[in-house]
Structure 1
Amino acid sequence: MSTATTTAVAPLRIGPITLDAPVVLAPMAGITNTAFRRLCREYGAGLYVSEMITTRALVERNATTMRLITHHESETPRSIQLYGVDPATTEAAVRLLVEEDRADHIDLNFGCPVPKVTRKGGGAALPWKTELFREIVTRAARAAGDVPLTVKMRKGIDSDHLTFLDAGRIAEDAGVAAVALHARTAAEFYSGQADWSAIAQLKQAVTSIPVLGNGDIWSAEDAVRMMAETGCDGVVVGRGCLGRPWLFGDLAAAFGAPGIRPDATLGYVAAAFRRHAELLVEFFEDEGRGCRDIRKHVAWYFKGYPVGGELRAALATASSLAEIDELVATMDLDAPYPGAAAEGQRGRAGTPKRPALPDGWLTTREMSGEASRTLADAELDTSGG
């Protein structure tokens, strides 16, 4: 629970979109579906981005993908993140979203460090191929027209192969509306401490569009501090909101926008958990599936609270909203916020690892015939969103 003082900042403008709070929800696979986005929006202001959508699957109108890009009527502005490696396919995917009026904002993912993505040259590996990156971003920005297109990236592949400054300048020249930097390399994955100094460097290099910072924002205080230390124009929040959707209310309030600061008793947390489950049931149109999906959130919501292992296990096997209600009723809902025990890192972290890359990928920043053949298969493993 934050005690951050209010820090008035200018509204964040991403193309024609103005955000009262300079806060963006980072795309997270299996997390940032319509249900979670709606829940976060109920607490505070910001831009709430979809799960990563594969351009090839979108162009092919894969049924799962088409469901993932469908927003609830309450969601505005509508934001979708795309993952692509082929300029023509990415351009076609952007055009589809624009011509069918399916998004008010489109983000391109060049930050994914997952081995099955980087092994084929996608995600955080792709900006190493400078001209390919330039062509994808330029064609996508052109296809987007008046819909703002942004880029999210990492520092680079590893400490010896940094790409963020070149990529930031290329994106700016291509006409994107903003760039966001997760201040880690692909090799760092989610380990260690984010290098906020890199965000400051990018802000110095990219001057005509907003620069957003991402990495290790676990509280409103962290967000305020990142903006003060780096000069960035806004923050992107990922793992810090897992099991804490009310963080967006705290962030909004900390930046002087409308938002509710939480009184995070166990009852407050349990109510958020129950609401999340309810929205998942609505999203999946299946009570059993919605209750299965909420299971992965149990540990995040109740981190540090007096909810014993047996009760947590029961919540993680509940198959109906009624069963969840019965379990919540057994809790000490007046239990106060536990302080440090509920704070800090949540979600995956892991250890640094050597990035999986196509053979010879680092030999040159130009595209070779072999690299082109590898990229032809890059979207297959992530087809369907």
Structure 2
Amino acid sequence: MTSVLATAPTLRIGPHALEVPVVLAPMAGITNTAFRRLCREYGAGLYVSEMITSRALVERNDTTMRLITHHESETPRSIQLYGVDPQTMAEAVRILVSEDRADHIDLNFGCPVPKVTRKGGGSALPWKLDLFRDIVGGAVRAAGDVPLTVKMRKGIDDDHLTYLEAGRIAEGEGVAAVALHARTAAEFYSGHADWSAIANLKEAVTSVPVLGNGDIWSADDAVRMMAETGCDGVVVGRGCLGRPWLFGDLAAAFGADVAPVDATLGFVANAFRRHAELLVEFFDDEGRGCRDVRKHVAWYFKGYPVGGETRAQLATGSSLAEFDEILGTLDTHAPYPGAAAEGQRGRAGTPKRPALPEGWLDSRDVTREASRMIADAEVENSGG
């Protein structure tokens, strides 16, 4: 039985009051309009876009301009930006605000991907405190009345933690909230998130909400994180892969009047089919939408009695009609399999030594050479 928080606090991010204090974490190739709409159909909260590179937005890259477009049903509209240059980031924010493309903007300082961190970007960047301050402060000023938040990691590794200093700086520069993925870049997505770090950040940052991220695989996990850390809300990433109805479970756990989900195999099959349909609409291309949903097959049917041949057919399906035919062969009355369908989803990997620019850890200041290197870090990549 799912735990229910006795008093579910309203999460306020600028002018936005979220009765369910839950945020969908940006995930590249996952949290497009189709997936965000699907999650909204089950629950409530704030649903953030895939990460958008600030340089690509300023240059009005066609793919990027498509990714920042929201469906009319999406409100508030939330976009996450990634960048390493204060001027470019500020200009990207100005575009979103002046063209009325977002109601909330988040900045990503959590990417652990080596090809980003080796140039000083992502979770490596807050080590350079003045650069971090310049990016955040410039973006907040450019955002004006649109609330701007930051998402980050604990630091580079256990010997080079940055989250407390970065949290205080972000608070001082006027952000509307701070979110912490409670792992270091070195941990990548491995092991267990250190929820005690979220509690530490909550003690250090007192004037704006602190959100916790890491190892929320169920509504019970979310309730427990808030109880143990005192955080003001939760950010859910990999836990909703193949399980968009987790947002319904979360809404119910935080006191919303939401009908409980009976996740039979038939229910899951319908969710998968709806996801495919929304992707077809998003891409305006049935073949492309059906190809995109293939990567979700293993997540949706984890633990369910779906044979290898059927899974292989779903993972190669190329039309909605083909999916309908395959899904029609399933035992739709098969019950939720319990533990077999729960736990970790998505990438995990193993701890690794972070790739960093030569001499990056020698100083907290940005040298001229470091400035040249981080300029190359602004590439399209996932993180957080």
Taking structure 2 as the reference length, the TM-score comes to: 0.98
Counterpart residue number, 1:222: 221
Match of 1:326 in 2: 325
Q: Name the residue aligned to 1:354.
A: 353
- Report if aligned partners of 2:52, 2:380 keep a CA contact under 8 Å in 1: no
Aligned residue in 2 for 1:201: 200
The residue aligned with 2:365 is 366
1:102-117 mapped onto 2 (5 Å cutoff): 102-117=101-116
1 CA distance for matches of 2:164 and 2:5?
Answer: 32
Q: Percent identity?
A: 82
CA distance in 2, matches of 1:352, 1:284: 36
Cα distance in 2 for partners of 1:7, 1:293 equals 40
Aligned to 2:133: 134
Kindly state the Cα deviation for residue 380 of structure 1 after the two structures are TM-superposed.
Answer: 4.1
Spell out the pairing of 1:95-244 with structure 2 (5 A cutoff). Answer: 95-244=94-243
User: Which amino acid letter does the alignment assign opposite residue 214 of structure 1?
Assistant: N
Q: In the TM superposition, what is the alpha-carbon distance from 1:335 to its structure 2 partner? A: 0.1
Amino acid in structure 1 at the alignment position of 2:291: R
**AA at the equivalent of 1:224:** V
The answer to whether residue 372 in structure 2 is matched with residue 376 in structure 1 is no
Confirm or deny that 1:65 pairs with 2:64: yes
Q: Secondary structure at the match of 1:52?
A: strand
In structure 2, the partner of 1:274 is 273
How far is 1:375 from its partner?
Answer: 1.3
RMSD of aligned residue pairs (Cα, Å) = 1.0
Does the aligned pair in 1 maintain the 2:43–2:251 contact within 8 Å? yes
CA contact (8 A) 2:212 2:233 kept: yes
Aligned partners of 1:44 and 1:260 also within 8 Å: no
Question: Cα–Cα, structure 1 residues 49 and 258, in superposed 2: closer, same or farther, change >3 Å?
Answer: farther
Change (3 A) 1:223 1:321: same
TM-aligned CA distance change 1:348 to 1:370, over 3 Å: same
Letter in 1 for 2:182: A
Aligned residues: 382
Unaligned 5+ segments in structure 1 are none
TM-score (norm 1): 0.98
**Residue 278 of structure 1 aligns to which amino acid in structure 2?**
E
Residue 381 (structure 1) shift: 5.5
User: Which AA in structure 2 matches 1:220?
Assistant: A
Correspondence list, 1:275-354, <5 A = 275-354=274-353
Counterpart CA distance in 1 for 2:84 and 2:5 is 41
Counterpart residue identity of residue 296, structure 2 = H
CA deviation profile, 1:262-296 (whole Å, cap 9, x unmatched): 10000010000000000000000000000000000
Q: 1:7, 1:254 within 8 Å by CA — same for their partners in 2?
A: no
1:52 is matched by which residue type in structure 2?
Answer: M
Instruction: Report SS of the residue matched to 1:201.
Output: helix
Report the alpha carbon displacement of residue 377 of structure 1 after superposing the two structures with TM: 1.4
1:248-259 counterparts in 2 under 5 A? 248-259=247-258
Shift of 1:116: 1.2
Secondary structure class of the residue paired with 2:37: helix
2:246: which partner in 1?
247
Q: Please give the alpha-carbon distance, in whole angstroms, between the structure 1 residues aligned to 2:283 and 2:17.
A: 31
Output the CA distance in 1 between the equivalents of 2:246 and 2:381.
30
* 1:376 Cα deviation from its structure 2 partner: 1.7
Distance 1:4 1:273 in 2: 27
**Mapped partners of 1:161, 1:181: distance in 2:** 16
Matches within 5 A, 1:2-41: 3-41=2-40
Deviation at 1:205, TM superposition (A): 0.1
Matched, 1:79 2:86: no
CA gap 1:228/1:91 in 2 versus in 1, 3 angstroms = same
- The residue matched to 1:10 in structure 2 has which SS? coil
Deviation per CA, 1:15-35: give whole Å up to 9, x if none.
Answer: 000111000000000000000
Shift in Å, 1:260: 3.5
